[in-house]
Amino acid sequence: MASLHRFPFAVVACSIVFFTVGGRAVRAQDSLPAATKLPFNAVLVLTPEFCATTFKQGSAWTTGRETFQVGKTACSELPTALKDAFTSVTVASAVPASSDAPLVLIPKFVNGHASTSALAFSNREMDVFLEWTVKDASGKTIWLQTVQGTSKHHEGNVFTHSHDVTLLARDSVKDVAAQSAAKMEAAPELRRRP
Amino acid sequence: MRGMGRHVVFAGYNLCFQLTAFCRAGTVFDGLGIMRKRCILREFSALALLLFAVSGAGAQAFPEFPLQSPNDYAVSSQQGAVTIGLDPVEAPQDQLTYFHVAMASKGFLPLFVVIHNGSKLDSLIIDKAAITYGTEPPKGGPAVDNTPGQRAAFFTTAAIPWIGPFIAGGLAQSQSAVKQNLVLRELQSGTVAPGETIHGFLYIAIPKKGMRTKVHIQFPIAWSGSDKQSTLNLTF
């Protein structure tokens, strides 16, 4: 009995904090109401540089360096998300000559930030900002818009943290892809193009 | 916040272990089970207090910055259908209220920008990367030629920095919510439909010490699907 009382209680208490793992993602933003499909054949420009975009934050010396691989996910998610917004979407790895494409969609990640939380089971939020430049057949910019994507995931413990970072980046990019499609469908500047 | 959070959690672990050691020591000295139970309760209380403090520390409220019509700001300019109003948040108290950080001492001035498209037909395109600013040389510096057209040559113009680089530079380090607020409030590139307004903050680099000199800022104005372009200049 005495040995039972000597059981290191702190280990149990601290384990509650340590081994509480992240669960399912919480999506913060609702999608915008869907509009009708834009009647254009669009070219989506996904350059190798864009697909390799990462955001890094934190310090390797103090808090640990985190790398959010947003470009890789974006290059797989954007064609899928945008295909429902346009008549057709063709993917190109470079900006085509103006006369070749009626509508050219050029994405660029401009910023990203993930909040942090103290506990393994606390949610943290990531915001990514994707800037869209849409050009018409003559090469003129007709739409420039920064779209924000958000996701929430648990901070994770020492064993699950890197997996949670991956989920956080993946879901924020999925969200920004969905938001982008909705904003393009709702943009009057794109809708009134010939 | 990440650094602080981990430090707090590790401090919590330490506290737990130290309390346990204290309880063991107490057990050895008095040998009473009742004392041991009190110690366990103490550990629970400490842990609960710790969790409460940590969760409370993360919840910060940032009040909305008051939005007015661009013409109502002390610094404003109009060109055709476009009106731009500026409100530099200079007072340290205001910076603490809206950003929870004294940005001037870090070498940045938050500038609230409101852009209104008064056109009835055309959409306005604001490209944040194309916005530039420059500062006048301080007193005692080279003379400034006031001749229009020459004036710009005396200023060091630079693109508005994204908030990202100076987050990495250590502004408000270890305050995750403060950083997130700065990012979310930043003015972004966008297309402004006829009759609509966009607003947000630009973060202008200024000297950390001494009086700041005048800042000249240029907003390139472009129109959707058009070659028509112009520039709006403001000084504050």
pLDDT in tens, B52-88: 444 444 456 889 999 999 999 989 999 989 999 999 9
Q: Domain A28-191's class?
A: alpha beta
C-alpha B188/C-alpha A148 separation (Å) is 10
Domain positions in chain A are: 28-191
C-alpha A47/C-alpha A188 separation (Å) is 27
Query: How many residues are given for chain A?
Result: 194
Segment holding B101, helix H or strand E? none
Distance (Å) from the alpha carbon of B17 to chain A's nearest alpha carbon: 6
**Residue A11, token pair as written in the block:** 């280990």
Q: How would you write the pLDDT of chain A (194 residues) with one tens digit per residue? A: 444 444 455 554 444 444 433 333 333 334 444 457 888 889 999 999 999 999 888 776 666 778 888 999 999 999 999 998 998 899 999 988 766 678 899 999 998 888 877 666 777 888 999 999 999 888 889 999 999 999 988 776 667 777 888 888 999 999 999 999 999 999 988 887 65
Cβ of B163 within 8 Å of Cβ of A111? The answer is: yes
Residues 6+ apart with CB under 8 A from A184: A38, A82, A85, A86, A105, A132, A134, A143, A190
For A106-140, b/e burial (b = at least 16 CB within 10 A) is: bbbbbbbbbbbbbbbbbbbbbbbbbbbbbbbeeee
Q: In A, which residues are within 8 Å of B13 by CB distance?
A: 10, 14
Q: In A, which residues are within 8 Å of B179 by CB distance?
A: 113, 115
Strands B229-235 and B215-223 turn out to be: antiparallel
Angle between helices B2-30 and A9-18 (to 10 degrees): 160
From B235, B27, B37, select the one nearest B135 (Cα to Cα): B235
pLDDT at residue B208, rounded to an integer: 82
Residue of A nearest to B6 (CA): A118
Phi/psi at B159 (5° precision): -70, 150
Q: In A, which residues are within 8 Å of B222 by CB distance?
A: 141
* DSSP code of residue B194: T
Beta-strand runs (E) in B80-181: 82-88, 108-117, 124-126, 132-135, 156-159
CB A171 within 8 A of CB A27: yes
pLDDT at residue A63, rounded to an integer: 62
A to B CB pairs, distance under 8 Å: 126
pLDDT at residue A118, rounded to an integer: 65
Maximal CA-CA distance, chain A: 85
Q: Closest partner residue to A13 among B1, B16, B189, by Cβ?
A: B16
Cβ of A144 within 8 Å of Cβ of B179? The answer is: no
pLDDT at residue B209, rounded to an integer: 79
pTM for the full model? Answer: 0.71
Cβ of B176 within 8 Å of Cβ of A115? The answer is: yes
Q: In A, which residues are within 8 Å of B189 by CB distance?
A: 110, 131, 144-146
CB B84 within 8 A of CB B113: yes
C-alpha B198/C-alpha B88 separation (Å) is 17
pLDDT at residue A62, rounded to an integer: 62
C-alpha A167/C-alpha A149 separation (Å) is 14
pLDDT at residue A66, rounded to an integer: 82
pLDDT at residue B102, rounded to an integer: 87
Beta-strand runs (E) in chain B: 75-79, 82-88, 108-117, 124-126, 132-135, 156-159, 190-192, 197-205, 215-223, 229-235
CB B216 within 8 A of CB B142: no
Phi/psi at A160 (5° precision): -105, -5
Cβ of A112 within 8 Å of Cβ of B164? The answer is: yes
Cβ of B12 within 8 Å of Cβ of A17? The answer is: yes
Distance (Å) from the alpha carbon of A32 to chain B's nearest alpha carbon: 17
pLDDT at residue A178, rounded to an integer: 94
Distance (Å) from the alpha carbon of A150 to chain B's nearest alpha carbon: 11
Q: In B, which residues are within 8 Å of A8 by CB distance?
A: 20
pLDDT at residue B230, rounded to an integer: 86
- Listed as ranges, residues in chain B with pLDDT below 70 are 1-60, 137-174
Cβ of B13 within 8 Å of Cβ of A10? The answer is: yes
**Residue B201, token pair as written in the block:** 């903050």
**Residue A68, token pair as written in the block:** 């959010």
Interface probe for A, chosen from B1, B2, B60 (most Cβ of A below 10 Å), is B2
Q: In B, which residues are within 8 Å of A184 by CB distance?
A: none
Angle at A83 between CA A130 and CA A189, to 5 degrees: 60
CB B2 within 8 A of CB A65: no
Side-chain-side CA neighbours of B60 within 13 Å: the count stands at 21
Distance (Å) from the alpha carbon of A141 to chain B's nearest alpha carbon: 6
Q: In B, which residues are within 8 Å of A10 by CB distance?
A: 13, 16-17, 19-20, 43
Task: Let me know if A182 is exposed, middle or buried by CB neighbors in 10 A (0-12, 13-18, 19+).
Answer: buried
Q: In B, which residues are within 8 Å of A145 by CB distance?
A: 189-191
